[in-house]
Structure 1
Amino acid sequence: MTISELIEAGQRENRVLQRVSRTRQCAAWVSQLDTGRYPPVVNLCPIADWPATCPCAPQQPSRPNPAASTSPEATNPA
């Protein structure tokens, strides 16, 4: 075997070990879900705050447009 073949074999072995580890972790999660041993879900937002804590994007304050000024001085520069 050449050095490059040994390196490739080592890389393949590492990939297989990572896949086995991930598969075992997934099997543990599925087993945990099947047996019902998982923490309950908790809503941290009180129901009284529901309308005020809407998860929507914040609104930017409107900025005055200097070109759309309606003052008489701006429309008639006498």
Structure 2
Amino acid sequence: MRVEKERRKVNIFCEDKILLRGFIHINPGERVIDFINDLKEDFIAVTVVQVYYPDTGLISKRGKSEEKGLIILNKAKINWIEEVTN
């Protein structure tokens, strides 16, 4: 049985200074903090992701950012995350 998820827009700042802007998919009514703190999962799926490489010297073939359809992110690499509410 498939459980419907809520799509939440977030900015994720990783320990290597890479910024990810995209969507996480969480259970209805769940807070982002509870989703991130879930110890059962070490990785999260981030969809429709814009990847930015500020101040790292990393440049993709398309410049200082690139778009990805899906990234499976190790939660241990997250410095902080903010929900985008606008």
Measured against the shorter chain, the TM-score band is under 0.3
After TM superposition, the score normalised by the length of structure 2 is 0.16
Q: State which structure, 1 or 2, has the greater radius of gyration over its C-alpha atoms.
A: 1
After TM superposition, the score normalised by the length of structure 1 is 0.17
Higher relative contact order (CA 8 A, sep 6+): 2
* Structure with greater strand share of residues: 2
